[in-house]
C-alpha cells in the first residue's frame, strides 16, 4: 500500500492537508427530511442561462412537474420538488456571496407530496446513448459535486472525442463534508448502476471510482457492488489531500495524464462525473425521476447535531439548521459547501440548490483569523499550488491593477482552490483577490460581448432599413414607369381617335 501511494503522490502536484474534521458527521446515516412549508427554486442552479419559467402565481403543481425549461445549450430543466401552489415567480436572495436577488419560483407545499406523471422508464441496456443523454437532460441533472455543469452535455462528448475512461469522483476532499462518503456506504448499488448507464452513454468500457484513502467503508461498499450494468468498476484509492476532488487533479492522480491549461479532460479521453450525479442518473433512467432532491452535510462546531440529510431542492437553510438542533453559538462563518471553496452566506432563508453539498456553521475556534501582513516571498504558496502557478506574483499584479499581466501569468488557470491563502504565513487573502479579478475580467468580457452584440444589432438594423429604402425606391421607380407608360398609351389612343398619322408609332412606343 505504501509503495502504491508513493507512486500516486508523485503524480499529485501541490495541495495541502487541512484538518478534515469529518468525524463530526461521518458516522451519521443519511436522514430524509420532510418537505418544508415553503420551497424556493432559483431559475439558475447551473452554469449557463437561467431556465424559462413555465408556471405562474396560483398554479397548482405536482411533485416532479417541469416548472422551468432549459434555455440554451448549457442550461438545465427545473422540476417541482413537492406538490403545492406557486405563490410567487419573482426575485429572491440567491445562495451566493453577493446575496443579490435572482429569479425564483416559490412554492407553498400542500403537505401531500403528490407525484405528477413521471417520465417513462428507460431500459438503459436497450437504450441508445442519445436516448440516455436526452433523459438526463430532461431530468435536469447537473454536476452535483458543486460544478453544476449540465451532465447531459458531458455525456454527449462521445461524438467529439475518443473517450476511453469514466472516473466517478468520490474523493470528497473538502474538510467536514461526508454526504458522498455516506452515499457510497448506503447506496453503492445505485451509484454503480448510474456509472454503468453513463459508461454506456459515453461509449467507454473502463470505469474507475476514485475514493480518498480516509474513506475505507465507502471503498469497501463499492467493492461489494463493483459491477454497474455489466461494466466492471475499478475502485481506486487516492491520497487524502486537498484539492484531490478537483477534476484535472483527480485525472492526473488516477491516470497520470496531465490536462493542459484550459483544455478538457475529455481531450485526453477521460470524463469525470460525481458519485451523486451517478445516483441521480440511476433514478432518472430507471424510475423516470427528475433531480429534485440531494444529500447535504450539515456540520461544524456551531451546529448542535451534525448530520447527513436527504433534502428537497429549494429547502431553506434555516429549516435544515433547525432540523439539526439549531446553533450552539453565533457562528463566526456560515457557508454553503466546504470551508475551502464554499460560499459564505448571511441569510438563512436562502435555499438548497442542486450544487449544494454542505451547510457549515463554524465557530470562532474553528476559523483562523489573523492580521494580513506583507508578502515575505517565502514561496510556500508556489509549492502548494496544484496548478503550478506563482500566487504571490499573481497577487502583486492584481494589486497593481494589472489584470492583463495577471492573465499572462495564469490567472484564468487558477481553480480557486484556496490552498495558497490557507498556507500563506502572512495571511494574505490571495484566492479572494483572484476571484475578484476573475469577476472583473468576466464583467469586462460580458460588457465587450454586449457592445459587440449592440453593434451587430445596429448594423443589422441599418442594413434592414437600407434594404427597405431600396425596395421603396425601386417600387417608386416602377410606379413612375407604369404611369409614364399609361400616359403614353392614353396619348396614343387619343391621337388614334383624332386620325393622327404618328399614332401607330406612339402605340408601339407605349407597348
- Residues of this chain that bind ligand SF4 (CB under 6 A): 375-381, 384-387, 389, 391-392, 414-420, 424-426, 428, 430-431, 434
The phi, psi pair for 299, rounded to 5°, reads -155, -175
Least CB distance from residue 242 to ligand SF4, whole Å? Answer: 10
Q: Minimum distance between the CB of residue 389 and ligand SF4, rounded to whole angstroms? A: 5
**Shortest CB 400 distance to ligand SF4, Å:** 15
CA 175 – CA 124 distance, rounded (Å): 36
Nearer to ligand SF4, 13 or 60 (CB): 13
Give yes or no for a contact between 173 and 211, defined as CB atoms under 8 angstroms apart: no
Sign of CA dihedral 108, 110, 111, 112: negative
Which residue number, 378 or 458, has a Cβ lying nearer to ligand SF4? 378
The minimum distance between CB 378 and ligand SF4, in angstroms, equals 4
Residue with cell 448506503: 186
Based on CB atoms, which residue is closest to ligand SF4, 256 or 425? 425
Q: How far is the CB of 259 from ligand SF4 (least distance, A)?
A: 14
Q: How far is the CB of 125 from ligand SF4 (least distance, A)?
A: 41
Specify the residue, 93 or 146, whose C-beta has the smaller distance to ligand SF4. 146
Angle at 32 between CA 28 and CA 243, to 5 degrees: 55
Show the beta-strand stretches assigned E in 159-286. 165-170, 206-212, 227-228, 231-238, 270-274
CB of 161 within 8 A of CB of 155? Answer: no
From 119, 158, 148, 118, select the one nearest 135 (Cα to Cα): 119
Nearest distance from C-beta of residue 144 to ligand SF4, angstroms: 22
Taking the least distance from each CB to ligand SF4, the nearer of 101 and 379 is 379
**How many CA atoms are closer than 13 Å to the CA of 313, on its beta-carbon side?**
28
Shortest Å distance, C-beta 156 to ligand SF4: 29
Nearest Cα neighbor of 425 from 377, 366, 363, 383 is: 377
Cell of 255: 491516470
Of the candidates 12, 477, 475, which has an alpha carbon nearest to the alpha carbon of residue 238? 12
Q: What is the widest separation between alpha-carbon atoms in the chain?
A: 121
For ligand SF4, give the closer residue by CB, 199 or 428: 428
Residue 407 or 488: the one with the smaller Cβ distance to ligand SF4 is 407
DSSP class of residue 48?
S
- Least distance from C-beta 246 to ligand SF4, angstroms? 8
Please answer whether residues 335 and 345 qualify as being in contact, where contact means their C-beta atoms are separated by less than 8 angstroms: yes
Distance CA 503, CA 492 (A): 5
Question: Smallest distance from the beta carbon of 13 to ligand SF4, in angstroms?
Answer: 10
Q: CB of 416: closest distance to ligand SF4 in angstroms?
A: 5
Q: Which is nearer to ligand SF4, 50 or 243 (CB)?
A: 243
Between CA 313 and CA 291 the distance in angstroms is 8
Sign of CA dihedral 408, 413, 416, 420: negative
Residue 33 or 420 with smaller CB distance to ligand SF4: 420
Q: Residue 438 Cβ, how far from ligand SF4 at the closest point, in Å?
A: 10
Neighbouring C-beta atoms of residue 499, cutoff 10 Å? 7
Nearer to ligand SF4, 184 or 250 (CB): 250
**Complex with ligand SF4: residue 254 or 384, whichever CB lies closer:** 384
Q: Where are the beta strands (DSSP E) in 300-414?
A: 307-312, 333-336, 343-344, 358-362
Q: How far apart are CA 227 and CA 199, in angstroms?
A: 12
Task: Please state, in angstroms and rounded to a whole number, the distance separating the CA atoms of residues 21 and 53.
Answer: 40
Distance (Å, whole) CA 17 – CA 174: 10
Residues composing the chain: 511
Decide whether 412 or 485 has the Cβ nearer to ligand SF4. Answer: 412
Amino acid at each position: 500500500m505504501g509503495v502504491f501511494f508513493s507512486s500516486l503522490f508523485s503524480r499529485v502536484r501541490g495541495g495541502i492537508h487541512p484538518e478534515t474534521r469529518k468525524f463530526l458527521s461521518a458516522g451519521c446515516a443519511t436522514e430524509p427530511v420532510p418537505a418544508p412549508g415553503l420551497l424556493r427554486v432559483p431559475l439558475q442552479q447551473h452554469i449557463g442561462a437561467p431556465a424559462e419559467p413555465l408556471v405562474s402565481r396560483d398554479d397548482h403543481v405536482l411533485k416532479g412537474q417541469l416548472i422551468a425549461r432549459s434555455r440554451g445549450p448549457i442550461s438545465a430543466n427545473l422540476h417541482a420538488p413537492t406538490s403545492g401552489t406557486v405563490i410567487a415567480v419573482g426575485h429572491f436572495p440567491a445562495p451566493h456571496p453577493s446575496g443579490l436577488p435572482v429569479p425564483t419560483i416559490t412554492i407553498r407545499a400542500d403537505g401531500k407530496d403528490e407525484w405528477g406523471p413521471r417520465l417513462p422508464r428507460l431500459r438503459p441496456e436497450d437504450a441508445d446513448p442519445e436516448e440516455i443523454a436526452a433523459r438526463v437532460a430532461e431530468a435536469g441533472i447537473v454536476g452535483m459535486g458543486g460544478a453544476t455543469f449540465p451532465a447531459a452535455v458531458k455525456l454527449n462528448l462521445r461524438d467529439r472525442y475518443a473517450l476511453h475512461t469514466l472516473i466517478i469522483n468520490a474523493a470528497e476532499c473538502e474538510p467536514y463534508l461526508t454526504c458522498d462518503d455516506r452515499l457510497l456506504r448506503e447506496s453503492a448499488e445505485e451509484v454503480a448502476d448510474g456509472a454503468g448507464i453513463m459508461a454506456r452513454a459515453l461509449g467507454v468500457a473502463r470505469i474507475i471510482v476514485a475514493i480518498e484513502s480516509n474513506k475505507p467503508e465507502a471503498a469497501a461498499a463499492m467493492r461489494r457492488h463493483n459491477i454497474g450494468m455489466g461494466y466492471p468498476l475499478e475502485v481506486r484509492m487516492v491520497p487524502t489531500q486537498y484539492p484531490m476532488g478537483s477534476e484535472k487533479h483527480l485525472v492526473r492522480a488516477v491516470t497520470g495524464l496531465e490536462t493542459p491549461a484550459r483544455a478538457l479532460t475529455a481531450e485526453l479521453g477521460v470524463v469525470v462525473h460525481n458519485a451523486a450525479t451517478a445516483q441521480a442518473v440511476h433514478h432518472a433512467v430507471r424510475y423516470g425521476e427528475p433531480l429534485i432532491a440531494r444529500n447535504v452535510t450539515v456540520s461544524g462546531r456551531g451546529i448542535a447535531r451534525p448530520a447527513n440529510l436527504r433534502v428537497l431542492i429549494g429547502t431553506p437553510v434555516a429549516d435544515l439548521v433547525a432540523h439539526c438542533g439549531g446553533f450552539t453559538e453565533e457562528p463566526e462563518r456560515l457557508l454553503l459547501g466546504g470551508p475551502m471553496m464554499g460560499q459564505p452566506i448571511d441569510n438563512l432563508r436562502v435555499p438548497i440548490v442542486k450544487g449544494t453539498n454542505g451547510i457549515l456553521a463554524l465557530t470562532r475556534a474553528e476559523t483562523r483569523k489573523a492580521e494580513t501582513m506583507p508578502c515575505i516571498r517565502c514561496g510556500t504558496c508556489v509549492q502548494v499550488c496544484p496548478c503550478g502557478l506563482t500566487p504571490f506574483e499573481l497577487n502583486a499584479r492584481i494589486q497593481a491593477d494589472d489584470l492583463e499581466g495577471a492573465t499572462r501569468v495564469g490567472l484564468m488557470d487558477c481553480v480557486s482552490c484556496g490552498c495558497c491563502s490557507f498556507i500563506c504565513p502572512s495571511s494574505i487573502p490571495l484566492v479572494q483577490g483572484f476571484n475578484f479579478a476573475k469577476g472583473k475580467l468576466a464583467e469586462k468580457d460580458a460588457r465587450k460581448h454586449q457592445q459587440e452584440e449592440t453593434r451587430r444589432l445596429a448594423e443589422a438594423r441599418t442594413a434592414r432599413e437600407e434594404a427597405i429604402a431600396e425596395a421603396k425606391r425601386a417600387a417608386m421607380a416602377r410606379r413612375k414607369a407604369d404611369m409614364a407608360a399609361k400616359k403614353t398609351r392614353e396619348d396614343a389612343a387619343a391621337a388614334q381617335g383624332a386620325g393622327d398619322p404618328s399614332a401607330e408609332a406612339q402605340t408601339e412606343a407605349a407597348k
